[in-house]
Amino acid sequence: MSNLPQTATELLSGLESRKFSSVDVTQAYLDRIRAVDERVGAFLRIDEERGLKQAADVDARRAQKKSVGRLAGLPVAVKDVVCDKDQLTTCASRMLANFRPPYDATVVAKLKDADAILIGRTNMDEFAMGGSTENSAFQLTHNPWDLERTPGGSSGGAAACVAAGMAPLSIGTDTGGSIRQPAGLCGVVGMKPTYGRVSRYGLVAFASSLDQVGPLTQTVEDAALLMTTIAGHDPRDSTSLSLPAPDFTATVNQPIKGLRIGWAREHFAEGLDPEVETSVRAALKVYESLGAKIEEISLPHGRYAVAVYYVIAPSEASSNLARYDGVHFGYRTDEPAMLAELAAERKRLEAARDQPALDALDTALVRMYRRTRAEGFSGQKSNAASCLARTP
């Protein structure tokens, strides 16, 4: 890695001029993952064989002067909540531990069309519900700057792998801060795109009206490169914006003189950490020094945002996760063992002539639901997934 550029834009320039090959770049990042990820825990799975095969194919086409995609030869990590055909997509949950999607998410299809090298799947809070990446069913992810601290979440693995130099580009998802917060904690660039700008087709849903796929990168220029690749209308997503996506790389380096930036006075209220306020105000001064116009604005209804979020997000999560019940999708408990346990419980209650307990005893179907969810989900998700089932 020491002999290669650190940003995706610089790497792409070197690949296009053939200063180094895609195999060289991919192998360097795989070596970096082997060297540090045992301590960081950013990746759930690495796909070395597929990655090197894709890289060799890109190199061969470049050598033959054939057309290659926008990201040709660049390694990209993908959060394990975005479907990749025939590849494990677990959402960091035992419920989907063996799930292999029969199709690509639109974002993954766009990355493949752009000749990106898909090197691995990153850890996350289970079903993207969490803010620390401590709620994965499989492992913890640590902040590469301080292994005793959280990388944030739910896209903690996606942010940590970029911060630790294990991938130049990474795909995360954001419902209520799950790209932006880990980007902040790991010191990388992260952006939640406008809803509808990037297709949600093939994104395993948490809260459908809030979820968005977005970039995590080393620089803003790299974020523009990745956004240009994944943005655009998708007829398979009914919430996809029916407008052409611009080339974000064409304007990202333009001067910002005359740009209007609003800051909401309600966001600088009691409870804001003084260090955070100082940093934000310092950033506003930098923008002002570069010619931007800074304006104070008011968002009087912003105080209701958190309360509204915690009505919408759990409601939609309950609906989306209700399908993981042992019948429709995902893990199913050991049914013979469950039935034997239920029969033994019934026999014991009959012997004790405990009619109230017998009347309250689960049916086989209800017990299967309970056991499946208890074993397949963590407690937080099990409760959310069960809410809908309890509603008359």
110-155 per-position pLDDT tens digit: 999 999 999 999 999 999 999 999 999 999 999 999 999 999 999 9
What tens digit of pLDDT does each residue of 304-315 get? 999 999 999 999
What tens digit of pLDDT does each residue of 178-213 get? 999 999 999 999 999 999 999 999 999 999 999 999
Q: What is the pLDDT of residue 91?
A: 98
Is 178 designated active site? yes
Pairing of β 117-122 and β 75-79: parallel
What tens digit of pLDDT does each residue of 279-322 get? 999 999 999 999 999 999 999 999 899 999 999 999 999 999 99
Is 154 designated active site? yes
What tens digit of pLDDT does each residue of 255-276 get? 999 999 999 999 998 889 999 9
**Confidence tier at 383 by pLDDT (50, 70, 90):** low
The residues that bridge with 1 in the sheet, in sequence order, are none
**Confidence tier at 378 by pLDDT (50, 70, 90):** confident
Q: Which residues of 80-106 are buried (b: 16+ CB within 10 A; e: fewer)?
A: bbbbbeebbbbbbbbbbeebebeebbb
Of these residues, 93, 154, 318, 382, which one is catalytic? 154
Q: What is the pLDDT of residue 3?
A: 82
Q: For residues 172 and 179, is the Cβ–Cβ distance under 8 A?
A: yes
Q: What is the pLDDT of residue 387?
A: 46
Of these residues, 21, 132, 170, 178, which one is catalytic? 178
Of these residues, 21, 22, 79, 240, which one is catalytic? 79
Q: For residues 81 and 4, is the Cβ–Cβ distance under 8 A?
A: no
Residue 10 to residue 217: CA distance in whole angstroms: 13
Please provide residue 326's backbone torsions phi and psi, each rounded to the nearest 5 degrees: 85, -5
